[in-house]
Structure 1
Amino acid sequence: MDSTVGALIGLLVSIFLIIKKVSPAYSLILGALIGGLAGGFSLEEVVVSMTEGVKDVSSAVLRILTAGVLSGVLIKTGAAMTISNAIIRFWGEKRVYLALAFATMLLCAVGVFIDVAVITVAPVALSIGRRLGIPTPQLLLVMIGGGKSGNIISPNPNTIIAAENFGADLPSVMFANIIPAIIGLLFTVFVIARFFPVKPCKVHTDEEEMGNDDGLPSLWSSLVAPVVTIFLLALRPLCGITVDPLVALPAGGLCGLICMRQWKNALPSIEFGLQKMSVIAVLLIGTGTIAGVIKDSTLKDYILAMLDHVSMGKDMIAPISGILMSAATASTTAGATLASASFADTILAVGVSSIWGAAMVNAGSTVLDHLPHGSFFHATGGVCDLTFRDRLKLIPYETLIGAVLTLFSIIMYWICR
């Protein structure tokens, strides 16, 4: 059997097992094994492909584990809640869509996972929604749009992995998608939110606080962790001084702890961040196994032939691979990992720079990362108490937001190349 067919069988097996609630990591490992054998590889060759795939993501796994320090500090100290409350109060209820989208975008952009960012902003959003009579699905859609926009310019695992696999500078990859991120934010607020079909919702006349700041750190001290992190990452493009994300992300988190005078919470914050990142690290190991099988298959050759057949440039393999792999895994992180690990060499060979290859893969991975066989779909629907059917109704709009981010990432690549 052709190795391409085998790779596709492996992906389908993984998706089926994930939908059946089997551990995503084990689903991907088993899918890689079945896909490799179905593609004509010997058992020994399949194991070699799988282990080589894990080796390709090992450095990214290390950086992601250290990124848990920053993420844990922002969440456990209440800094993320302080930042989101401040943004919403600054914009006011008249600009509630912009406030919610920007709050979620900023949290993602400074290194908070998109699902955690939505969960952080959701209580504030739901409170405002009850006062103003805004339906919950519309509020969630706005937060997701802001989160997706922030996710393509963040030091989150998807960006780290894409940059790592392409051998690109992380701050440069983050910076490349700034304009698409801004356009995605505006598209969410002024197009999606305005034209999303909603049913009338009862307005609550009683006053409710959008968020209780008691016990939370001040805004200025809350901003220290992300500001220090961004400053350290920016030293390379600005001054030629390289500070690896492995150092910059935990250093920013520790500086934030000191400035918030919450050093007593250092160990709980680090442990919390490590727990969150460990889940992703294990997922990446599983993703690496199937990425290795895909990389050794002829799947990329078929995709190139398909692009030639429809008269599209071969440089479009970057965003298309991100889209396809995010659909297969229902995850931005896993999608970016699969796409960049499997197709980076091919994308670079056709003349796309490492920075723009990583940036377009990263943007493409936001298009279908919200499908029901992934955790993001359920986590965001659960925090807003949406039924499965109501959560499904958001998928076309989420896909459209991801498509706009990808489209403008492609446009910026064409302008800048």
Structure 2
Amino acid sequence: MDITITTIGALIGLAVAIILIIKKIEPAYSMIAGAFVGGVIGGAGLEGTVSCMITGAQSIMPAILRIVTSGILAGVLIQSGAAVKIADQIIKIFGEKRALFSLALATMILTAVGVFGDVAVITVAPIAMVIGQRIGCSNFILLAALMGGEKAGMVISPNPNTIAAAENFGVDLSALMAAGIIPALVGLAGTVIICTLLAGKGRKENGAQEEQSIKVNTQPMGLPSIGSAIIGPLVAVVLLMLRPICGITVDPLIALPAGAIVGLLCMRKMNHFREYITYGLGKMMPVAILLIGTGTISGIVKTSQFQTDMTMVLNAMNLPAFLLAPISGIVMAGATASSSAGATIASATFSETITQIVPALYGAAMLHAGTIVLDSLPHGSIFHASAGAMGMPINERMKLLPIDILEGLIIVVASTIVYGIIL
């Protein structure tokens, strides 16, 4: 049967999900509840609502499967100490004189090779605070550098947000990662400029709080060599790049675990394989469950008139139609405070419409970039994870939100200029 859900119903469903998430109800259940409310109010009825929810959840199962297997590489990088070693080496290379650049770059590279954004920030944070003590830089500025690096890394990473966008637009994961390189570099440069300007104003913080955080977090033990630490993610990236280079397709479901195994062999830690993949699966399961809930509300939004009405609004405002891609990414990620959930909902809902306006890869790149603008809002996890990693009070972390958003906007503007205007 044909089901059409009203835009009002879809928006009410999204609002219900956001309110429940802010009230600290489990995000997956919040989205399922929002999907149900939106479908019923939108006119689908009980049976039609459930059907749309199930269809939406089914549509993202391939992405969830790839995301779950990517936990193998993430677990190996984090638990083996490879992530810490990579970050430490980058900072050693560039030195304390370029501390803000090296911290942002370290976080960007960790995220880009498959470490979760919040884990990348947590990994680099202790090193950042030590350097901050030496150069007299506040935690506020240091975290601004880490968050900008994390956002730049997200648009070139094989993380859940990129996998979901590539899956729904039907483009190669490696191609979408490559499409994010220019915006990521622009974002990195913008982050360094912003943080340098902030440092010039001499913002000060509570030094005692910083000192306590340093004592707790700066005791890495038994780290691998830099060569063995980098080989795993390097193998994964090379395997993913085989299709655009020579036409050999290696799915992320194979490439990411393969990189993890090669990395373990090079680090001589195969005896920890079970331990590391168990950790990686544990980190991925909340993401996978969240995306199941995300799929249900995506099914409601996709069945609704929302995408048609949003396109009409853009036309009425005389804005270019291609802006649907970045705006939908910004809105959906802001609604869920998650780049993964935002990329899933936005790409599942708007990919068909966007590909009628611009090529699939360009649309995916702009939408994907849009998802990192509002993903650090307080009803999401990275907001609290980053505050805790730097020993920063919530009210101080709130003051950093405008900087977070600005760093994300630099990336999405760069992506939109390149893929919406120039190409």
TM-score by length of 1: 0.96
The match for 1:369 is 375
Of residues 227, 230, 233, the one that matches 1:220 is 227
Pair 1:227–1:42, CA change in 2 (3 A): same
| CA displacement at 1:353 relative to structure 2 | 1.2
- 1:260-319 Cα distance to aligned partner (Å, 9 max, x none): 000011001100000111110000000000000000001111110110011112111110
| CA displacement at 1:158 relative to structure 2 | 0.4
| CA displacement at 1:327 relative to structure 2 | 0.9
Please tell me whether the aligned partners of residues 6 and 39 of structure 1 are also in contact (alpha carbons under 8 angstroms). yes
Output the CA distance in 2 between the equivalents of 1:84 and 1:295: 40
Please tell me whether the aligned partners of residues 88 and 100 of structure 1 are also in contact (alpha carbons under 8 angstroms). yes
Please tell me whether the aligned partners of residues 315 and 347 of structure 1 are also in contact (alpha carbons under 8 angstroms). yes
Please tell me whether the aligned partners of residues 126 and 136 of structure 1 are also in contact (alpha carbons under 8 angstroms). yes
SS for the counterpart of 2:223 is coil
User: Cα RMSD over matched residues?
Assistant: 1.8
Alignment of 1:118-157 (within 5 A): 118-157=121-160
Output the CA distance in 2 between the equivalents of 1:2 and 1:56: 18
Output the CA distance in 2 between the equivalents of 1:407 and 1:4: 27
| CA displacement at 1:202 relative to structure 2 | 8.1
Q: Is the aligned partner of 1:166 residue 2:169?
A: yes
Output the CA distance in 2 between the equivalents of 1:201 and 1:317: 40
Of residues 39, 46, 51, the one that matches 1:43 is 46
Q: Is the aligned partner of 1:354 residue 2:357?
A: no
The match for 1:91 is 94
Of residues 392, 414, 419, the one that matches 1:408 is 414
- 1:43-76 Cα distance to aligned partner (Å, 9 max, x none): 1110111011111110000000000000000000
The match for 2:35 is 32
Output the CA distance in 1 between the equivalents of 2:104 and 2:95: 13
SS for the counterpart of 2:355 is helix
The match for 2:281 is 274
Output the CA distance in 1 between the equivalents of 2:76 and 2:164: 22
Q: Which amino acid aligns with 1:150?
A: G
SS for the counterpart of 2:318 is coil
Output the CA distance in 1 between the equivalents of 2:309 and 2:324: 11
| CA displacement at 1:3 relative to structure 2 | 1.2
The match for 2:105 is 102
| CA displacement at 1:199 relative to structure 2 | 2.7
| CA displacement at 1:192 relative to structure 2 | 3.9
| CA displacement at 1:415 relative to structure 2 | 5.4
Q: Is the aligned partner of 1:60 residue 2:67?
A: no
Pair 1:19–1:415, CA change in 2 (3 A): closer
Alignment of 1:179-258 (within 5 A): 179-195=182-198, 198-200=202-204, 214-258=221-265
Of residues 390, 398, 404, the one that matches 2:396 is 390
Please tell me whether the aligned partners of residues 329 and 369 of structure 1 are also in contact (alpha carbons under 8 angstroms). yes
Output the CA distance in 2 between the equivalents of 1:291 and 1:32: 8
Output the CA distance in 2 between the equivalents of 1:392 and 1:191: 17
SS for the counterpart of 1:349 is coil
Q: Which amino acid aligns with 1:40?
A: G
Output the CA distance in 2 between the equivalents of 1:327 and 1:138: 23
**Structure 1, unaligned stretches of length 5 or more?**
none
Percent identical pairs in the alignment equals: 50
Pair 1:201–1:382, CA change in 2 (3 A): closer
Please tell me whether the aligned partners of residues 138 and 198 of structure 1 are also in contact (alpha carbons under 8 angstroms). no
**Structure 2, unaligned stretches of length 5 or more?**
none
